[in-house]
Amino acid sequence: MLNQIITSTILILFLLLLSVFLERRINPCLKYALWLLVVVKLLIPLPYFETHLSVLNLVSRIRPESAPHRFIDNGSANFPGTLPETEPDQSAGTDATPSASQESPDQSTSFQGNACQENTFQKNAFQGNSFQENAFQDTSSQENASQDISFQANSSQMMFFPKIAGILTALWICGILLCGGTFLWSGLRFQRWLRHNRIFTGMYMDRLSIYEVPGLGTPCLAGVFAPAIYVNREHHFDKVQLSYILAHEYTHFRHGDHIWAVARCICVAIYWYNPFVWLAARRSASDGELACDAGTLKQIGEENRILYAKTLILAANNLSQQTNMRIPGYRTGAAGGMKEMKRRIKLLKNKPRTRLITLAVTLILCCGMIGCTYGSAANDNRGGAQVSPELTDTLPPAAQTDTQKTESENETEMQTESNTAIEIETETETAPEPESASPESMVYHNTTLYRAPEPGQVCILVQPSMVRDYLDYYYIPSGDAQDQLQSLMARTEPDWQKNSDHSIIAGQNLKETGYQLYYEDRIYTVFEGGYLYTTDVDEERGGVESLVRSEALCDLTQQLLSENLGYEPVDITQIHDIVSARLDVCSIFTDWEFYSQTITDPDTLALFEDWFCNARYILWGAGCGNENACLELTLSDGNVIRLSMAIDSCSNFGVNGVYYDYRPKASWDNTAFYHLFDEIPWNA
């Protein structure tokens, strides 16, 4: 049982890491199929085979020896097999308790192995009492007392461990009944509720019945033996959206996800004590939805990707409004939580491309992991004897030398690998900057940002909310991301119009996203909704401006910023229930010394909430020394919002490049704000 726990946990951890790594590198259907390895490992008894790849080889080296070894080493049980039966008289004049170094391999082996051998050993140990009394009748009373105590102690151990095993087994069975009963009860309860409230509306593909159910949180495929599609008639899907929903649930049916849902429940019920099995069930269900999305797009056409994504978002919104019907059971749903939905939408926008090299490496890794976790420890000694750690000193000198040499070699190899990893990491961290970049740079979220753009590259100008040397920096994507950005940017042609003080922006009432794009010596300010604004000087018309829309370009840029910099839009109206506020500052008013102070006073925090939550948006940003001070607000829900505070008399702050004016009245500057941090030595 312990071996199964160890190997299955390692296999699950491997697949969890692989699932994250392959998120955007392989077809979701192939990635989802990898979870079959866990189901087979957990539910199907496999034939016994030994392999040197098995992780159990390592476990067997560090795991304590079995109970029979401890009996022999301690000399606690003397039984007929340990003394020459033909010479019983000789045993009276010698030490009847053989030491570890005096045991032969056959003797130490004969009492290892299965439960039958252990029972035989226990029986012989008890029967050996009379023999011990005869064999040791000439010994001192002190030696006899010591042996009796040792024998009784080991006998108690032999009786104690079966009791513990029985208790653990009973606890495990109770957990299975409780967990499995909960799943079964919830599933039957949900099916009963569906049967009492459903209205038949037709068939889909002549294979699945379609029912309308009022109060259903999300469209779903429910049922194991007679699956059917259930939708909520109160959700106002139009005809096209409803067809996408039906296609989604039909894809679940084709993939057999209603059966896999049952398999996941069985795995969790049996291995309820292993938290990694719960994580695997959750992640595999999430990967199943991604695979279903990919299969649905094949059915409805890749050109309908955006409309399909909007349908999923609508279904998720309906689900969030009806959380009372989110009952666990043997079913699949079109919508999940908003975090999961965000993950699905990202993959819909950027379809993973399965490369041959990625597929080959994945298959090789999986085959290696099968050998590591499916096989049993290799037993080089066919007699079944294992050398106890306590018997190391009794090995021949040559064997000791080989053992020590092996351990030394292993340590040397591990140290070499560690040094290699450190060298690689160091090389990665000190990667050369682009030739055109200025020496000034900063590392933000393990990504290098530069002070100057790189010619010929699409560069993203950002203003991260933190204390920094300069107001803005350039993030320069590379590889496939850079190629996609250049391709999209090349298709974005400016639509020049006469410039009249940013009249296009004023008319559209647009809001900045907090970042700009630099390409071919031109700066594009990005606004919400996928709009790009830029200006130029025309020989005839003078100043001209352009506002074009490229949602694909802006979505890709935002995705890169979110994944690599954690640079995302922040809704300041969500600044509520502040539990602490920490100001980091390094400015002219502190003689360019860095200081930090945290405030937890409820009255002051309530004042901050009123100021910042009601701040007014500033178009075209601000340049008031916002790089020299950062206010970190920790909210009661655990979220952290960072504001780049102006250090001059301007009362504004920036949130990842988007600026707001927080003054409560017209005649007010930020002195009232900074003086609240009275532990910082201000020089003005």
DSSP codes, 265-324? HHHHHHTTT-HHHHHHHHHHHHHHHHHHHHHHHHHH-GGGHHHHHHHHHHHHHHHHT-GG
Of 589 and 401, which is predicted with more confidence? 589
Q: What is the mean pLDDT of residues 642-654?
A: 90
For position 558, what pLDDT does the model report? 94
pLDDT > 70 in the chain, percent = 70
Instruction: Say what the pLDDT of residue 336 is.
Output: 55
Checking if the pLDDT of 62 tops 60, the result is: no
Q: How high is the pLDDT of residue 333? A: 57
Band the pLDDT of 644: cuts 50, 70, 90.
very high
Sheet architecture: strand order including 228-231 = 199-204, 208-212, 228-231, 220-222, 331-333
Q: Could you report the per-residue pLDDT of 666-675, keeping only the tens digit for each?
A: 777 788 899 8
User: What's the mean pLDDT in 118-127?
Assistant: 40
Query: In the predicted model, what is the mean pLDDT of residues 349-354?
Result: 71
The number of CA neighbours under 13 Å toward the Cβ of 244 is 24
pLDDT at 660: 94
Q: Among 114-123, 322-331, 597-606, whose mean pLDDT is lowest?
A: 114-123
Tell me the pLDDT tens digit for each residue of 134-189. Answer: 443 444 444 445 545 444 544 454 445 556 777 888 898 999 999 989 888 988 88
Q: What does the chain come to in residues?
A: 684
Show contacts of 72-77: CB within 8 Å, 24+ apart: 72/98, 72/100, 72/103, 72/107, 72/108, 72/111, 73/100, 73/388, 73/390, 73/391, 74/150, 74/154, 75/99, 75/150, 76/147, 76/150, 76/151, 76/153, 76/154, 77/121, 77/125, 77/128, 77/151, 77/154
Out of 295-304, 322-331, 440-449, 625-634, least confident range: 322-331
Strands 228-231 and 208-212: what pairing?
A: parallel
Measure the CA–CA gap between 95 and 499, rounded to whole angstroms.
Answer: 108
Highest-confidence range of 98-107, 458-467, 539-548, by mean pLDDT?
458-467
Q: In the chain, pLDDT over 90 holds for what percent of residues?
A: 26
Identify the residue whose tokens are 């499995």.
Answer: 180
State the burial class of residue 222 (Cβ atoms within 10 Å of its Cβ: 0-12, 13-18, 19+): buried
Residues 279 and 15: beta-carbon distance below 8 Å:
no
**Angle, helix 239-255 to helix 275-300, in steps of 10 degrees:** 130
Rounded mean pLDDT of 234-253? Answer: 86
Q: Which has more confidence, 525 or 157? A: 525
The backbone torsions φ and ψ at residue 224, rounded to the nearest 5 degrees and listed phi first, read: -100, -50
Calculate the alpha carbon distances from 517 to 477, 488, 521, 603, 617 in Å.
12, 12, 10, 41, 21
Nearest to residue 477, comparing CAs of 506, 497, 502, 453?
453
Q: What confidence score (pLDDT) does residue 337 get?
A: 57
Res 473: pLDDT: 94
Which residues make Cβ contacts (< 8 Å) with residue 260, sequence separation at least 6? Answer: 39, 284, 288
pTM, rounded to two decimals: 0.44
pLDDT band at 684 (very low <50, low <70, confident <90, very high): low
Q: How many other C-beta atoms lie within 10 A of the C-beta of residue 651?
A: 22
Q: How confident is the prediction for the chain on average, in pLDDT?
A: 75
Ranked by mean pLDDT, which of 62-66, 80-84, 555-559 comes out on top?
555-559
Closest CA to 662 of 573, 586, 584: 573
Q: What is the dihedral of CA 644, 646, 651, 653, to 10 degrees?
A: -20
The whole-number average pLDDT for the span 80-103 is 40
- Please report the beta strands in 520-614, taking only residues with DSSP state E, as ranges in sequence order: 522-527, 531-538, 542-549, 578-585, 595-599
CB atoms near residue 152 (< 10 Å): 11
Residue 320 confidence (pLDDT): 56
Of 560 and 624, more confident: 560
- Residue 370's pLDDT is 85
User: Are the CB atoms for 308 and 245 separated by under 8 Å?
Assistant: no
Q: What is the pLDDT of residues 269-292, one digit of tens each?
A: 999 999 999 999 988 888 888 889
Residues 382, 109: contact at Cβ < 8 Å? Answer: no
For 274, phi then psi, to 5°, come to -100, 110
For residue 407, the one-letter residue type is E
Structural domain boundaries in the chain: 2-58+198-356, 441-565, 572-674
Closest CA to 586 of 422, 462, 467, 429: 467
Residue 131 has pLDDT above 50, yes or no: no
Residue scoring higher pLDDT (319 or 472): 472
- With 60 as the cut, is the pLDDT of residue 472 above it? yes
